[in-house]
Amino acid sequence: MKVEAVLAAKGHEVATTDPGTTLGTVAKKLRLEGIGALVVMEDQQVVGIVSERDVVHSFALHRGEASEIPVADVMTRNVVSCKPEDKLTHVLGLMTRHRVRHLPVFEGSRLVGLVSIGDAVKHRLDELELEAAVLRDAYMAGH
């Protein structure tokens, strides 16, 4: 299965923020939208990604002052990404190697979606379940 199938099922909407947004605002947005990361955009370009982990680490280090820290100070700037035609096994490998849980999806230079580790695992498990059912049916038909 490919990333494009995941996006077809979950949609192409990507929650974003800008580099000047405070971590307090980011934390509220993540909670309200029930998501784990925001893509950071500036002048319609992706400049980073900020995750729940970034927020938690900042609050652990800076306590109350963390709510006023701008996203630009804590975001990941070297964003690992994928393409719609990438296979989920490749995406899961990227996430594991780079220790990230969210990958922006680009078609050329255009942001077309965001895939989380939960999305990738769910769809990969669905794919494996289907393969197992097909093999089971083929085996049963032969006996």
Domain ranges of the chain: 3-142
User: What pLDDT does 50 receive?
Assistant: 97
User: What tens digit of pLDDT does each residue of 15-43 get?
Assistant: 999 999 999 999 999 999 999 999 999 99
**Does the pLDDT value for residue 58 go beyond 90?**
yes
User: What pLDDT does 7 receive?
Assistant: 94
Looking at domain 3-142, does it have CATH number 3.10.580.10? yes
Q: What is the distance, to the nearest Å, from the Cα of residue 142 to the centroid of all Cα atoms in its chain?
A: 42
Model confidence pTM above 0.85: no
The length of the chain in residues reads 143
User: What pLDDT does 121 receive?
Assistant: 73
